[in-house]
Amino acid sequence: MTRRRPAPLPVRDGLGPARLRLHGGPVAAELRARFGEAVAAKVAAGEVVTADGSAVDDATVLPAGTHVFLYRELPDEVPVPFDIPVLHRDADLVVVDKPHFLATMPRGRHVAQTALVRLRRELDLPELSPAHRLDRLTAGVLLFTTRRELRGRYQTLFARGAVRKHYLARSSAEPDGTFPRRIRNRIVKERGCLQAREVPGEPNAETLIEALGGGLYRLTPSTGRTHQLRVHLASIGLPIDGDPLYPRVVDVAADDFSRPLQLLAQRLEFDDPITGQPRCFVSDRALDHPPGPLPRFG
């Protein structure tokens, strides 16, 4: 795994600096052309730096491919009106019960309204980093490391499939066929496309699906492709309730929190890479429809 060197600017108000790749030439002129006078003002104030921390000024010329760092202007965002309960906290880890509608980390139009930025601010942990990700619409157990030097060891667990993950999903569709059922195929997610899709080729996605009754399903993925569980359930005629993407795209207003995706990352289990001890974290959340407690499983 290639390690990116730490950013030359510290986390500020829960958010790290943006990293921009230059086309080459006078830096101030390029930034002004790409981002307007607001970025040019940052150059004048010495708030744009190179990887070694040197401030860029109006005379700086850098080759193509060089990166500069600066604090971005935050977009207007719709507040996500849900708390982020902490399930576990120690010197190394913070484990939370992420709500629906909250992205794991900044991307696109979701910046401050993300689990990472909100937790850095609320817990005063500027080096907090996610060891893995959950989709913005998926709720449940999400694990963070508290210090930069720990991140790689826990991320590696997820990358090599050493974390046992269990999800619960609800579908109102009538099931067809027998369970348990194992779905194994190839899924691709192309940049700019909202939906992931199944394509011919060597399988890269595998999920065990078990029916628990009453439209509730337990999902045990062996891989972690983008939207994997949503694609796999939709592919067998069981689209997850509240899904605005599968089987078809539905336009939902940014401030509409009335119909959460009925998908919950309920349980994470792994052997701690530092202590060697088994770890198990379980969500306290319940899916919305119908109300009531969800079954536990051993």
Asked whether the predicted pLDDT for residue 74 surpasses 70, the reply is: yes
The answer to whether 126 and 10 are in contact (CB under 8 A) is yes
* pLDDT at residue 292 in the model: 37
Mean pLDDT (whole number) for 161-172? 97
Q: Is the pLDDT of residue 2 over 50?
A: no
Supply the pLDDT for residue 1: 43
- Sign of the torsion angle spanned by Cα atoms 41, 43, 48, 54: negative
Q: In degrees to the nearest 10, what's the CA dihedral of 29, 33, 38, 39? A: -50
d(CA 240, CA 259): 12
Report the predicted TM-score, pTM, of the whole model to 2 decimal places. Answer: 0.87
* 189 residue type, one letter: K
Task: Tell me the pLDDT tens digit for each residue of 204-226.
Answer: 999 999 999 999 999 999 999 99
Q: Which helix (H) or strand (E) holds 123?
A: helix 115-123
Residue 12: what residue type? R
The answer for residues whose C-beta is within 8 angstroms of residue 231's C-beta and 6 or more apart is 187, 196, 197, 198, 205, 225, 246
Catalytic residue list:
135
- Sequence-distant (6+) residues with CB within 8 A of 47 are 55, 70, 71
For tokens 């336009």, name the residue.
251
Nearest to 105 by CA among 64, 174, 151: 151
Write out pLDDT tens, residues 225-247. 999 999 999 999 999 999 999 99
